[in-house]
Amino acid sequence: MNWKNLKQLVMTALRRAWLAMCTLGTVGFLWFWIVDGDNPLRSDDPYLVGLIFGMFAACLAIIYTATESIGRRVGWRRFQDFAYPIVLAAWCLFLWGNSLRGGEAAAVLSVACVASLIVGALTYPVCRFDVPRRLAVTVSCIAVVLLAMYCAACLIM
């Protein structure tokens, strides 16, 4: 692999990670805000859920890009479509298996397993399909506004 391909691979991974983080962070924020009903200017819980969703989505986007690169090198064009669900299933089985062991974190690990499955399913189309530039900029702006709201909520609390 030459430097030009490596640079292109890193830029693709970062672009996908940023877009997945912004998209799933916003979805996580909205989901928790609607379900929990917290006032976003009085509580940081929706923002934290959004950040966790976004960080996990960014990691999955990098994994998707890496498996896509591996698929190109071995000559299997859709390798990432096969490897991505396997990596996601392995992670969810790890969380689920640890939740079955019991203990204080069993409930949290069960919720994390379900949330990981949802985030993984929503991250796949973000990585798989080309997103128009206007939509990417719009989603990025929404995520930046939510980050500014989080800073304001922290200052108010």
Tens digits of per-residue pLDDT, 74-118? 888 889 889 999 999 999 999 999 899 878 888 888 989 999 999
155, exposed or middle or buried, with CB in 10 Å at 0-12, 13-18, 19+?
exposed
pLDDT at 102: 79
> How do residues 50-68 score in pLDDT, each as one tens digit?
999 999 999 999 999 999 9
Structure confidence at residue 1 (pLDDT) = 56
Domain that holds residue 57: 3-156
Tokens 């609607």, residue?
34
Q: What is the mean pLDDT of the chain?
A: 89
Task: Give the list of residues 6+ apart from residue 105 with CB closer than 8 angstroms, or none.
Answer: 98, 99
Q: Which DSSP helix (H) or strand (E) runs through 24? A: helix 3-36
* Residue from 111, 74, 80 nearest 96 by CA: 111
**Averaged pLDDT for residues 18-33:** 92
pTM of the model: 0.86
Enter the tokens of residue 90: 């392995």
Statement: residue 4 has pLDDT above 80: no
Query: Would you state the pLDDT for residue 2?
Result: 66
pLDDT of 154 above 90 = no
Residue 7 pLDDT greater than 60, yes or no: yes
d(CA 61, CA 156): 34
Number of separate domains in the chain: 1
